[in-house]
A and B are shown apart, each in its own frame.
Chain A
Amino acid sequence: MMMRITAAVFAMALAIPATADVDIQEITSPGGLTSWLVEEPAIPFIALEVRFKGGGSLDLPGKRGAISLMTSLLEEGAADLDARGFARAKEGMAASFGYSVSDDGLTVTARFLTENSDDAVDLLRNSLVAPRFDEEAVERVRQQLLSNIRSDDKDPDTLARRAFDVMAYGAEHPYGSSIDGTAESITGLTRDDLITAHRNLLVKDRVDIGVVGDIDPEALGAMLDKLLGDLPTGGAALPSKVDVSIKGGVTVVPYDTPQSVAIFGHSGIDRDDDDFFAAFLLNHVLGAGGFESRLMTEVREKRGLTYGVYSYLAPKDFAATYQGSVASQNDRIGEAITVIGDEWRKIATDGVTAKELADAKLFLTGAYPLRFDGNSNIASILVGMQSQDLPIDYIATRNDKVNAVTMEDVTRVAKRIYQPENLHFVVVGKPVGLSTSAGN
């Protein structure tokens, strides 16, 4: 059978991107807690996400990993229930709770049925407000964390991450070390350290909340007060800002494995910078993911040097970097790095073409509404917007901001953000023909 995919068909198909029709309300509870809400009564359940600002960066000196261990223990017994009692109660309601922590935030996700939402919120509340930190649970979870750390010690990706982070942020800043701590630091933590970590991070004046599902504003207000109203205010001091300074070069971390893993990068751009959207578009062209990015085309499609190569803007709350990653067999990683370096120079000097910019805009504006699929995903987006101080009508204006970026903007911003002379590669493996050179 014959196929004719003509230009006319494409032109038609490119007409109008879908729009995300998300009606967000800002709800303030009687107790003064603020949440963003999207009512979705079609399915009888509620998705909720709560994020406590600060995350693992609030670890006290000498107590690295305390917040990570504390986070893992929130669901291991609370109020009058021990770990098993808590798990049985949660399973009996078919609720699911998740607790995770990153450098900048501790995120709690929950999903529960409308029919038992009161009981589910009680249970979730206890895990946040009244975790027990029973000795049995502390020791059990401590061993799990230690096991993870031992695995990380032999994982090439983790080794690359650690080496890059200490170079980028310095060993003194929390960003420069693993959020899970070391075997030594974890072994030394006491129950009091966990109580302190909890007190320092789970405070109700540093929280962002997103709720999507079968609940109305009034019921949500009461739910918020029940869930978080008993938390204290005033957490530990947030970390200081890092002025990232990376010098070009290569750092080889010797490790006996067939495929070398590389993380590369230099300083980046803040999320609230006026040039962020231009940088975002530039990065899409260079290496943000699709098969059509320059890095994928040059490193994978043309030369078969890797399964995947990516670049990404990595703005954290207190530092900004521009990073990428690639993995190639030991005897081919050198060539992959050369090609990536060439692409970095090329985009810094020549920017991108008008067609590349137009294609990037089409993709990013078209893809945006596709993110809003599922109540939990939307709750997460609501929290992300608040934690970045974006306005509540941001969703409606975001694509306009993407489309407002001009060729002049990207040409100027390319020269600003790409620093080929400072691009540093951390390589873990037995790379042929590469050795540690210059820079940091």
Chain B
Amino acid sequence: MLRQPLLALAVTISATAVAVTAKANDLVTNFTLDNGMDVVVVEDHRAPVVQHMVWYRAGSADEPVGQSGVAHFLEHLLFKATDTLEAGEFSSVVAANGGRDNAFTSYDYTAYFQRVAADRLGLMMQMEADRMKNIRLTEADILTERDVILEERNQRTENNPRALFGEQLNAAQYLNHRYGVPIIGWRHEMETLSLEDALDFYGIHYSPNNAILVVSGDVTPDEVRALANKHYGPIPANPDLPERFRSQEPPQNAERRVIFRDPRVATEYLSRSYIAPERDAGAQEKAAALRILAELLGGGTTSYLTEKLQFDTQTAVYNGAFYGGTSLDDTTFDLIIVPQPGVTLEDAEAALDAAIVSFIEDGVDVDALERIKMQVRASEIYARDNADGVARRYGQALTTGLTVADVNEWPELLQAVTEEDILNAARAVFRKETSVTGYLKKALEATQ
């Protein structure tokens, strides 16, 4: 969820790796302020530009029951007035300095960022520190901005049957966890979000000891430390910051099936998700194997599913496998298949299931695994061309329970994944009783 739609959202936090000579990690320094605010600096001195981000360890999965969407609503409201800035002035000042600002909310985090000339970093910190504690909202702000987020929901979800389908799938996947509730919120709850709801969430979650400052670009760690101490340092830590706790999933014992029909559907397809472990601090091996498994199964023209479903047979127009892994609690491993015309969803599902079985039976194609590891190594070189992307990697990790050390170790863990690790991961994750199978279908034909 972004405060403002972008033409192309560059959030490619790709799997990454070691190359012996060139690690993206080499660019990174981290430390913590006295008030508990974590700081990560990613240096890139090729152009006189910085990106300044503040990430809060608070997302939609941290919302109170009945207030879905409040984390994202608050994100919008942080662009209104503070004690010293008028509504909209934050963005105006950034723009007047040639910069761009925006913000985004996910299940586990909310983040605010600006890209500006490097010598404006202090000003950005001054304003970001201000709105960490000093927003001043009016009832009028609530009414107008609530209409804006409802229009955002219209645009992202209500107007898009694939997005509506996705909401239903997630809701069916999670029996007890807030990941089953959409980040933007259920419409009926969004319509009731109040000033008090927003301020409550703000008061609980917005403080330096619940935030991570991530600065990337033409700046040194010493400069960041001095500016951060000046602007964020005086904000006291919140001694009452609650421990993050979400209700966790019970054992999932029942295969679930979701059928969603909408007259706006042009292309029917099948989605399958399985509950999967996430990257855990100090224990990312299973997640690393799942990441490689997703690549082997669904990563493009040479992947196993493409081979089985598009080359050996003409079952699919498109297929894919996805595993993110960076989340605070249990996540999902996802498969998708868009059947060829004339192939039913039932037949496509049978072919998909058969391919999963044969993948485990056939064992891992060693050449394919080597190609993936080569790409992982290279992505570490390419990442050095994108300090902002490296910065996002750390922001995302540190808001989902990982440490800087975990991020640094991740590429090596990917390289160390063995064929046996991958097959074990596949056997462990592909369990029907934890899965949701969804059919996105056209509307039923009217009876003749």
Contacts and interface: CB of A to CB of B under 8 A. Distances in A.
B99 to A, nearest CB: 7
Given A290-B95, A304-B151, A362-B96, A373 B388 contact: yes
B117 A370 contact: yes
Contacts of A365: 98
Interface string A129-163: 00000000000100110110011111110000000
Contact of A43 (B129, B148, B158, B381): B381
A423 B84 CA distance: 40
Given A143-B317, A256-B264, A258-B159, A308 B4 contact: yes
Interface in A11-48: 13-14, 17-21, 40, 42-45, 47
B259 to A, nearest CB: 19
B256 interface: no
B93 interface: yes
Interface range on chain B (Cβ under 8 Å from partner): 35 or more
B159 A359 contact: no
Contacts of A327: 151, 154-155, 159
Interface string B280-317: 00000000000000000000111000010011001001
A367 interface: yes
A83 interface: yes
Given A147-B338, A329-B154, A42 B46 contact: yes
Nearest to A141: B317
A43 B22 contact: yes
B385 A87 contact: no
Interface in B73-106: 79, 82-85, 87-88, 91-93, 95-100
Contacts of B375: 91, 94
B127 interface: yes
B378 interface: yes
Which residue of A18, A92, A367 has the most chain B CB atoms within 10 A of its CB atom?
A18
Contacts of A147: 267, 317-318, 338
Contact of A369 (B47, B88, B385): B47
A14 B95 CA distance: 11
B66 interface: no
A228 B338 CA distance: 36
A307 B152 contact: yes
Interface stretch (B139-147, B165-173, B194-202): B139-147
A44 B145 CA distance: 47
A362 B371 CA distance: 47
A84 B154 contact: no
Given A13-B120, A154-B266, A258-B154, A94 B148 contact: no
A310 B281 CA distance: 43
A182 B118 CA distance: 49
Contact of A156 (B46, B92, B159): B159
Contact of B151 (A302, A328, A370): A328
Contacts of A261: 159
A306 B386 contact: no
A219 interface: no
A359 B98 contact: no
A87 B302 contact: yes
A154 B265 contact: yes
A318 interface: no
A438 interface: no
B31 interface: no
Contact of B155 (A4, A5, A259): A259
Contact of B123 (A13, A143, A154): A13
B365 to A, nearest CB: 10
Contact of A259 (B96, B129, B158, B377): B158
A120 B371 CA distance: 15
A3 B84 contact: yes
Contact of B302 (A47, A91, A113, A302): A91
A276 interface: no
B374 interface: yes
Given A143-B341, A257-B264, A304-B146, A359 B95 contact: yes
A45 B381 contact: yes
Given A92-B374, A144-B318, A366-B97, A256 B4 contact: no
A1 interface: yes
A2 B84 CA distance: 9
B381 to A, nearest CB: 6
B84 A4 contact: yes
Contact of A87 (B21, B47, B300, B377): B300
Interface string A366-381: 1111101111100000
Contacts of B307: 84
Interface in A335-372: 359, 362-370, 372
Contacts of A17: 98, 117
Contacts of B159: 156, 257-259, 261, 327
Interface of B: 4-5, 21-22, 46-49, 79, 82-85, 87-88, 91-93, 95-100, 115-120, 123, 126-127, 129-130, 133-134, 143-152, 154-155, 158-159, 234-235, 263-267, 300-302, 307, 310-311, 314, 317-318, 338, 340-341, 367, 370-372, 374-375, 377-379, 381-382, 384-386, 388
12 contacts: A44-B381, A88-B367, A151-B267, A259-B151, A306-B151, A327-B151, A328-B151, A329-B154, A362-B98, A364-B98, A366-B116, A373-B47
Task: Name the 10 nearest CB pairs between A and B, nearest first.
Answer: A366-B98, A304-B147, A94-B378, A18-B117, A87-B301, A259-B154, A304-B144, A307-B152, A154-B266, A3-B130
